[in-house]
Amino acid sequence: MSEHFTVESNDGDARAATLETRRGPVRTPVFMPVGTQATVKAMTPAELESLGAQIILGNTYHLHVRPGEKLIARLGGLHRFMAWNRPILTDSGGYQVFSLAKLRKITPEGVRFQNHLDGSPTFIGPETSMEIQRDLGSDIVMLFDECPPHPCSHADADKSLDLTLAWAKRCRAWWDAQPAEGRPLVFGIVQGSSHADLREKSARALVDIGFDGYAVGGVSVGEPEPEMFAAVENSVPFLPKTHPRYAMGLGTPPQILEMIARGVDMFDCVLPTRLARNGTAFTAGGTLNLKNAPFAEDTSPIEEGCECYACQNFTRAYLRHLVKAEEILGLRLLSIHNLHFYLGLARQAREHILAGSFQEFRRRFVAGYKTRSDTP
Amino acid sequence: MSEHFTVESNDGDARAATLETRRGPVRTPVFMPVGTQATVKAMTPAELESLGAQIILGNTYHLHVRPGEKLIARLGGLHRFMAWNRPILTDSGGYQVFSLAKLRKITPEGVRFQNHLDGSPTFIGPETSMEIQRDLGSDIVMLFDECPPHPCSHADADKSLDLTLAWAKRCRAWWDAQPAEGRPLVFGIVQGSSHADLREKSARALVDIGFDGYAVGGVSVGEPEPEMFAAVENSVPFLPKTHPRYAMGLGTPPQILEMIARGVDMFDCVLPTRLARNGTAFTAGGTLNLKNAPFAEDTSPIEEGCECYACQNFTRAYLRHLVKAEEILGLRLLSIHNLHFYLGLARQAREHILAGSFQEFRRRFVAGYKTRSDTP
């Protein structure tokens, strides 16, 4: 056990645990809705709380570019700014620097780039990323890493990993120079692309440096699903059982259960809200594209038995009408349903781990879930 | 008194009353949020109820074009479709036929046109409009009228009015042939453009035919404000004090109070939700365009003392960020605030009428409200 992470129950490699943050406990496995620009898209904080969201994610890159962490700090921090009083995890900005920004120039100091909004020259390095996350008031800070593209040769991935590990040491040193009082949790990120030996090297090196938790990064970047599973399988055995594990940016509902089975505790993913804006709903049987004609007179809810506000009050026929008419209420109701689905999936996983029935739950769920060609 | 309308108090020409519909009472003066496509834009029914919305408006033209009133009827009617259990007033489609549709051909039978969505040939006449509103399950039905453009010569306005009055008789006859049991209220619409004698002619003719309430139409169609007031002043004296009066599509907050002072009971307007989507908030001092730079670090709520969810939880600085970042939560929170403002304005007007203090309330409100050049 670490002082901030208590494993309550194991079921195979899956575990139910409690992560203590400075803003209270998070019960794991946990799904963290993504609040990129200081809002989980289309949702109020009150709605998120009523759906049982324990912790949300904020994006350092986006908030740095607009409205800026200094402004947010002057206004009392990100929690107060967006009126969210539960824990917030912030990413480091690394992923967005490598996926959104233009004219990147990487040096040992960090990354110079033109931001995606107005092309202004911007710099983020390991220390800057820590400062931004400190200014935002993050409860769980991620270290600043380089995110190599997929696929990536062994030589390139190794070189990138060395830079990431050098940055990891500087992030650790930056926090060690801060007052210990009220310090957030700081998580390392395992990289190494699809190369098993580099995943092991990365994980071992991070554990040597010492972090409060460990994420697996560089997954869900376009690789086939077996490679995604392999990246986690090649990382987790080298991470301490006493610390939380976080698979970044994942995934479909079956992927999340498979990751929990492999010992992952924390997840974030834009799928529930992004697909909602595209008219797609998650169900235990797979996704439904509500634009499709067969739903035009379908008086059933999205999913029978679902207790979310959308399913308790509205038919598929009505939701289809809203989606076709591009009404905001349509994507709102689908966002509510999809977040309820994802948050509930993690909650059910936890309950089954505590009851010792997780493996059977996962097997049944994955078998019943049909992945459609039009959705992930 | 008519059997469905009870005036409780008069304050000058302003009155506080109760309108009985088949889905329960409506206390007037009342503001009716606009739910064009079977949704008040960006709002859930639960939110509308918590804001105190007593009745909403649905648009016959839009619902006829998509998803179609027959589909809505098969699914149990508009109330069930959109999960709104309080009264609904539907317009007749006339205004939209004349403002949105293309290649209009007007005959005594009705109007042939190409709808704005896919250009399909469509027909709405007085009987069709009544059938559509019946199929939707409307509680207050508006008669089908021709809406002449502004400005309109006396000769053209008179000719148009004759057609509207002929249609009014056919609408009345259509309803008289329906079973009386569970019949909705049917409202006439006074036309006549900016010509006082035609407004009188229209009002007198409609009262002769006999309706459950009377609207003033052809206002807020681009005319200067004095003409708008004149249109109402030239209509109301010829309408019975025993029946509800409704000024269609109005207006700014001061205009609504001025109309109440002239004896109008009911209002609908897209301004609160439309301006919300444009980043504009209503306050007692006038509108605020939250995109403006001075709000960037403004930690006050939209309006001090306002009890809406937006003002109770969020700063102008945060709302400005959401609006600038084009986040849906921004227009949601502004829609909540603006509807709270409009619904509250009508509620306050009612309370002041009951207390005999309406004239002073109106005078102070109108004097304190600054109309900005960038908003109506």
Supply the pLDDT for residue B374: 56
Supply the pLDDT for residue A1: 60
Beta bridge mates, A190: A216
Q: Please name the residues in contact with A180: beta carbons below 8 A apart, sequence gap of 6 or more.
A: none
Supply the pLDDT for residue A375: 57
Cβ–Cβ below 8 Å for A321 and B37: yes
Among A96-105, A303-312, B143-152, B169-178, which is the least confidently predicted range? A96-105
Q: How big is the A-B interface in CB pairs under 8 Å?
A: 102
Cβ–Cβ below 8 Å for A297 and B75: yes
Chain B: give the shortest CA distance to residue A346, in Å. Answer: 25
* Tokens at A187, concatenated: 């998580």
Calculated CA dihedral for residues A329, A330, A331, A332, nearest 10 degrees = 40
Share of chain B above pLDDT 90, in %: 93
Question: In 3-state terms, what secondary structure has residue B243?
Answer: coil
Chain B: give the shortest CA distance to residue A44, in Å. Answer: 7
Q: Which amino acid makes up residue B105? A: K
Chain A: give the shortest CA distance to residue B137, in Å. Answer: 16
Look at residue A374 and tell me whether its pLDDT is greater than 70: no
Supply the pLDDT for residue B1: 60
By Cβ distance, the residue of B37, B82, B328 closest to A41 is: B328
Among B159-163, B195-199, B290-294, B367-371, which is the least confidently predicted range? B367-371
B87-111 pLDDT, tens per residue?
999 999 989 988 888 889 999 999 9
Cβ–Cβ below 8 Å for B81 and A37: no
Average pLDDT, chain B: 96
Supply the pLDDT for residue A96: 92
Look at residue B348 and tell me whether its pLDDT is greater than 60: yes
Look at residue A313 and tell me whether its pLDDT is greater than 80: yes
User: B interface toward A at CB cutoff 8 Å?
Assistant: 37-39, 41-46, 66-67, 71, 74-75, 81-83, 296-297, 299, 309, 313-315, 317-318, 321-322, 324-325, 327-329, 331-333
Look at residue A16 and tell me whether its pLDDT is greater than 70: yes
Share of chain A above pLDDT 90, in %: 93
A325-363 pLDDT, tens per residue?
999 999 999 999 999 999 999 999 999 999 999 999 999
Supply the pLDDT for residue A376: 54
* Tokens at B251, concatenated: 């207006």
User: A interface toward B at CB cutoff 8 Å?
Assistant: 37-39, 41-46, 66-67, 71, 74-75, 81-83, 296-297, 299, 309, 313-315, 317-318, 321-322, 324-325, 327-329, 331-333
Look at residue B74 and tell me whether its pLDDT is greater than 60: yes
Cβ–Cβ below 8 Å for A297 and B74: yes
Supply the pLDDT for residue A3: 87
Supply the pLDDT for residue B315: 98
End-to-end CA gap in chain A: 36
- What mean pLDDT comes out for the span A218-225? 92
Supply the pLDDT for residue B116: 92
Rounded distance between C-alpha atoms, residue A190 and residue B70, angstroms: 58
Look at residue A373 and tell me whether its pLDDT is greater than 80: no
Nearest to A21 by CA among A95, A100, A98, A85: A85
Domain with CATH 3.20.20.105 in chain A: 5-269
Question: In 3-state terms, what secondary structure has residue A310?
Answer: helix
Supply the pLDDT for residue A279: 98
- Classified by CATH at the fold level, domain A5-269 comes out as TIM Barrel (3.20.20)
By Cβ distance, the residue of B45, B46, B325 closest to A37 is: B325
Cβ–Cβ below 8 Å for B297 and A66: no
Rounded distance between C-alpha atoms, residue B161 and residue B163, angstroms: 5
Among A96-110, A174-188, A194-208, B76-90, which is the least confidently predicted range? A96-110
With cut-offs at 50, 70 and 90, classify the pLDDT of residue A103.
Answer: confident
Could you report the predicted ipTM of this complex, rounded to two decimals? 0.97
Sign, CA dihedral B297-B302-B303-B304, equals negative
Task: Assign 3-state DSSP to chain B and report helix, strand, coil percentages, each to 5.
Answer: 45, 20, 35
By Cβ distance, the residue of B37, B324, B333 closest to A325 is: B37
Contacts of B333 in chain A (CB under 8 A): 44
* Tokens at B327, concatenated: 């986040």
A234-293 pLDDT, tens per residue?
999 999 999 999 999 999 999 999 999 999 999 999 999 999 999 999 999 999 999 999
Average pLDDT, chain A: 96
Reported in sequence order, the residue ranges of A108-235 that DSSP labels E, i.e. its strands, are: 110-114, 121-124, 140-142, 185-190, 213-216
Look at residue B291 and tell me whether its pLDDT is greater than 80: yes
Question: In 3-state terms, what secondary structure has residue B328?
Answer: helix
pTM: 0.97
Rounded distance between C-alpha atoms, residue B375 and residue A315, angstroms: 38
Phi, psi (degrees; rounded to nearest 5) at A108? -60, -25
Chain A: give the shortest CA distance to residue B266, in Å. Answer: 26
Question: In 3-state terms, what secondary structure has residue B191?
Answer: coil
Is A91 a known active-site residue?
A: yes
Which residue on chain A is closest to B315 by alpha carbon? Answer: A81
C-beta neighbour count of B56 within 10 angstroms? 23
* Tokens at B227, concatenated: 């003409």
By Cβ distance, the residue of B315, B322, B324 closest to A39 is: B322
Q: Return left, alpha or beta for B204; rule: phi > 0 is left, psi -120 to 50 is alpha, else beta.
A: alpha
Asked if A187 and A215 touch (Cβ cutoff 8 Å), the reply is yes
By Cβ distance, the residue of B82, B318, B332 closest to A82 is: B318
Rounded distance between C-alpha atoms, residue B190 and residue B200, angstroms: 9
With cut-offs at 50, 70 and 90, classify the pLDDT of residue B371.
Answer: confident
